Amino acid sequence: GAVVSQHPSWVICKSGTSVKIECRSLDFQATTMFWYRQFPKQSLMLMATSNEGSKATYEQGVEKDKFLINHASLTLSTLTVTSAHPEDSSFYICSARGQGRGRVTFGSGTRLTVV
């Protein structure tokens, strides 16, 4: 159990366009989801925490208008990178935690390349 699906696994987009990444919990209800970004050969940096039905909480330095997070249901959270630029190219990973569950489960990540 505890499977998190992230889609797409990779995406290439043009500068100025927006990209949506989905994170789904397949066999549990995710009350909380976390979004991380990871630059090559670096660690994961937490971007934001989203709770179902409420606004996301962003970490310091993360632009909430640039990285739109929606957690509209207990099984789906989305991250939209708006007006993407090459510096937004990165690996984005979500994790999800269910009600009464202990640790989180991570998605398989999305490689975003902005050209």
Binding site for another protein (CB under 8 A): 6, 32, 34, 36, 41-46, 49, 59, 91, 93, 95, 97, 102-109, 111
To another protein, the closest distance from the beta carbon of 16 in angstroms equals 26
Nearer to another protein among residue 33 and residue 81 (C-beta): 33
Nearer to another protein among residue 32 and residue 89 (C-beta): 32
DSSP element (H, E) containing 68: strand 67-73
Nearer to another protein among residue 29 and residue 32 (C-beta): 32
To another protein, the closest distance from the beta carbon of 65 in angstroms equals 21
Nearer to another protein among residue 82 and residue 89 (C-beta): 89
Would you list the DSSP string of 8-52?
A: -SEEEE-TT--EEEEEEESSS-EEEEEEEEE-TTS-EEEEEEEET
Task: Report which of 37, 79, 77, 36 is spatially closest to residue 54, judged by C-alpha positions.
Answer: 77
